[in-house]
């Protein structure tokens, strides 16, 4: 066996519901709030800390919406609730271990099953890394009740040092379609409700078709993930309309998260030689990656035991930067796949052109370069922004914004509900219209 590793970039580590409350509801609730400073709603003695815990532990989106309404009714300062949310406990203390089966019903009515493989030694007092593992063979029929979709080699990849998540996919719900694009983040939110998760150490690994799925999320939806590990997959599948893809691939979207790619030299489906042109483009685009070729390797995981130590080292070396100073994104849609952490493309110019944006944050100053973008939104966190001083936004060399921005409890709760992430909480949104 031999491996080749390429990476010009330093480590990415840095020092430093459906909408759960609809916009209309948030507006009406916010307008109804008085400027009172009481931290408890009238007629109740429940402190804000207890309401935050109810919010984090809500059984479903509807319950979380009710908890959010109760928090809004306290009229507590956004910053106070921010501190409670950031320091609050998402997880429960008494939870099952081993193989924990679950399911959720999608908006289209599909039952999407998943399995949490939880260490028998799970300790609720410590935060656990999480690995999502996407299986192969998605052209199969729907999984029947009782079928053990998490086996077949995937269970063997579990570890006592992390929580492993194995979702199910089939020909009606392949990894690179919108059904799963909504499903995987929802499963992650379910996991965080019950288990103590290290928000910055959630990786996405895929095998065969699952490897192609890992590429999909890297290109289209990177925000919750620390790194992507596509094994014996092929990103070119995403470009093929016959595979359910037909996507344009924007390599700029890969610059913020590292890739660990493995392909076999003699793989009859995706030999390493067929992946090399893709790897060459990664190099040109200055994407952080490692490419390992398994000498005489086929379409299997026979190499896994030998490479396990270096793979685990890779995961440890690249935690997620929840609030990076520089973000870039390219999008050809604004209804989905238009967000990267704190940067959202709201409207694009059109004419078939993709919207391209690069944003750099230096304290309260944002320098933004755009092409094909009519409007974008910056999500602002008190972890990075001084709300006592003005925020300046310079777009394509022209100052577009210079003003103070107020923090909002409604905004904080909206994004906390959507992300379920204590390290990525936003108390304000700043929308910038380029075309006025």
Place of tokens 């009740």: 145
3-state secondary structure of 366: strand
Place of tokens 């009172």: 36
pLDDT of residue 374: 96
pLDDT of residue 380: 98
Strand partners of residue 433: 375
Tokens standing for residue 243 = 């595979």
pLDDT of residue 34: 30
Strand partners of residue 331: 355
CA–CA gap between residue 320 and residue 323 (Å, rounded): 9
pLDDT of residue 91: 83
Are the CB atoms for 290 and 11 separated by under 8 Å? no
CA–CA gap between residue 277 and residue 20 (Å, rounded): 42
CA–CA gap between residue 27 and residue 32 (Å, rounded): 9
Tokens standing for residue 102 = 């679950």
Handedness of CA 58, 61, 65, 71 (dihedral sign): positive
Phi and psi, residue 370, nearest 5°? -135, 160
Q: For 299-345, what is the HEC assignment?
A: CCCCCHHHHHHHHHHHHHHCCCCCCCCEEEEEECCCCCCCEECCEEE
Are the CB atoms for 320 and 202 separated by under 8 Å? yes
**CA-closest candidate to residue 39, choices 79, 93, 88, 91:** 79
Return the number of other C-beta atoms located less than 10 Å from residue 425's C-beta: 24
Burial class (CB in 10 A: 0-12, 13-18, 19+), 316: exposed
List the end-to-end C-alpha distance of the chain, in Å, as a whole number: 59
pTM for this predicted structure:
0.88
**CA-closest candidate to residue 83, choices 125, 52, 120, 54:** 52
CA–CA gap between residue 414 and residue 199 (Å, rounded): 18
In angstroms and rounded to an integer, the radius of gyration of the C-alpha atoms of the chain is 22
Tokens standing for residue 152 = 């077949």
| Burial letters 204-228, b for 16+ CB under 10 A, else e | bbbbbbbbbbbbbbbbbbbbbbbbb
CA–CA gap between residue 191 and residue 91 (Å, rounded): 8
| Helices and strands, counts by H and E, the chain | 9, 17
pLDDT in tens, the chain (436 residues): 333 333 333 333 333 333 333 333 333 333 333 333 333 444 445 788 899 999 998 888 889 999 999 999 999 999 999 999 998 777 888 899 999 999 999 989 999 999 999 999 999 999 999 999 999 999 999 888 888 888 877 777 888 999 999 999 999 999 999 999 999 999 999 999 999 999 999 999 999 999 999 999 999 999 999 999 999 999 999 999 888 889 999 999 999 899 999 999 999 999 999 999 999 999 999 999 999 999 999 999 999 999 999 999 999 999 999 999 999 999 999 999 999 999 999 999 977 889 999 999 999 999 999 999 999 999 999 999 999 999 999 999 999 999 999 999 999 999 999 999 999 999 999 999 997 6
**Domains (ranges, CATH) in the chain?**
23-87 (no CATH), 98-317 (3.40.50.1820), 326-433 (no CATH)
Q: Which are the contacts of 243, defined by CB distance < 8 A and separation ≥ 6? A: 174, 176, 237
pLDDT of residue 436: 62
CA–CA gap between residue 206 and residue 270 (Å, rounded): 14
3-state secondary structure of 428: strand
Return the number of other C-beta atoms located less than 10 Å from residue 98's C-beta: 12
CA–CA gap between residue 129 and residue 312 (Å, rounded): 11
Tokens standing for residue 414 = 């909206």
């Amino acid at each position: 066996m031999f491996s080749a590793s390429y990476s010009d970039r330093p480590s990415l580590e840095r020092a430093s519901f459906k909408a759960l409350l609809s916009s209309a509801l948030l507006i009406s609730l916010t307008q109804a709030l008085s400027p009172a400073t009481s931290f408890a709603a009238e007629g109740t003695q429940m402190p804000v800390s207890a309401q935050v815990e109810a919010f984090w532990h809500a059984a479903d989106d509807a319950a979380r919406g009710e908890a959010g309404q109760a928090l809004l009714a306290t009229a507590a300062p956004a910053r106070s609730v921010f501190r409670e949310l950031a320091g609050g406990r998402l997880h429960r203390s008494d939870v099952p271990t081993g193989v924990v089966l679950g399911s959720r019903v999608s908006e289209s009515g599909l039952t999407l099953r998943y399995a949490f493989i939880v260490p028998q030694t799970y300790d609720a007092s410590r935060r656990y890394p999480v690995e999502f593992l996407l299986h192969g063979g998605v052209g199969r029929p729907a999984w029947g009740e009782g079928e053990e979709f998490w086996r077949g080699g995937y269970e063997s990849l579990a570890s006592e040092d992390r929580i492993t998540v194995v979702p199910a996919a089939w020909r009606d719900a392949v990894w690179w379609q919108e059904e799963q694009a909504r499903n995987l983040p929802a499963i992650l939110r379910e996991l965080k409700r019950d288990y103590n998760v290290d928000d910055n150490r959630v990786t996405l690994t895929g095998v065969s078709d699952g490897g192609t799925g890992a590429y999909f999320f890297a290109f289209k939806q990177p925000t919750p993930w620390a790194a992507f590990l596509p094994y014996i997959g092929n990103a070119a599948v995403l470009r093929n309309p016959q595979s359910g893809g037909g996507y344009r691939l924007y390599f700029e979207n890969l610059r913020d998260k590292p890739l660990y790619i493995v392909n076999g030299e003699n793989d009859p489906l995706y030999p390493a030689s067929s992946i090399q042109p893709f790897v060459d483009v990664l190099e040109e685009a200055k994407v952080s990656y490692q490419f390992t070729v398994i000498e005489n390797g086929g379409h299997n995981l026979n190499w896994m035991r030998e490479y396990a130590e270096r793979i685990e080292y890779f995961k440890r070396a690249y935690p997620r930067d929840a609030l990076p100073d520089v973000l870039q994104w390219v999008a050809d849609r604004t209804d989905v796949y238009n967000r990267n952490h704190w940067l959202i493309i709201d409207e694009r110019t059109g004419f078939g052109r993709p919207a391209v944006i690069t944003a750099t944050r230096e304290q309260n100053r944002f320098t933004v370069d755009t092409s094909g973008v009519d409007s974008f939104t910056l999500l602002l966190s008190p972890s990075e922004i001084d709300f006592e001083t003005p925020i300046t936004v310079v777009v394509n060399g022209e100052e577009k914004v210079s003003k103070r921005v107020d923090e909002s409890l409604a905004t904080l709760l909206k994004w906390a509900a959507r992300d379920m992430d204590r390290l990525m909480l936003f108390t304000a949104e700043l929308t910038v219209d380029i075309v006025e």
